[in-house]
Amino acid sequence: MGVRIVVRDNNGDVLDSLCAPRNYVTSPILAECNALWKAMEMCIELGFREVIFEGDAKAVLIEAVKSEDDDDDSWRGQIIEDIKQIIRTRAHWSVAFIHREGKEVAHQLAKIALQNEGELYWMENGPRNIYHLIVK
């Protein structure tokens, strides 16, 4: 599986994008958790203060991250608790569900991630072969 992240500003312009393989991740839910955690780590490093994290995995975004239940003993519980802690300490950060159609760029980045061994990171534009999707 691959992690794919696209960071846009409030005008929809791409600020950063990243893709990376995660060969050890075999569950789609754990892959989404990993991607959300990596996106949060990236936004912390870049000093972003107001962020909305969007994804198409309702199980991660709605049922897990937004739930009030802190007793998740499942195999994904620790990373979800880490994500919840990060969101709780940042007043202007939130998560939101979007339908899969809204994530075409991220899905193309996932395909690139699976073809490479390490993390690939772009500032502003992203890779040339998906630039036409970014400027839509």
pLDDT tens for 23-78 read 677 777 777 888 888 889 989 998 988 888 877 777 776 666 777 766 665 666 78
Alpha helices (runs of H) in 70-116, residue ranges in sequence order: 77-88, 104-114
Place of tokens 């892959």: 31
Average confidence (pLDDT) over 116-136:
63
The reported pTM is: 0.73
Position 106 scores a pLDDT of: 63
Tell which CATH architecture fits domain 2-134.
2-Layer Sandwich (3.30)
The residue type at 130: I
Better-scored residue on pLDDT, 85 or 69: 85
| Locus of tokens 């300490």 | 89
Measured CA distances, 45 to 10, 42, 88, 101 (Å): 19, 5, 17, 28
What confidence score (pLDDT) does residue 119 get? 74
Q: What value does the mean pLDDT take over residues 79-88?
A: 86
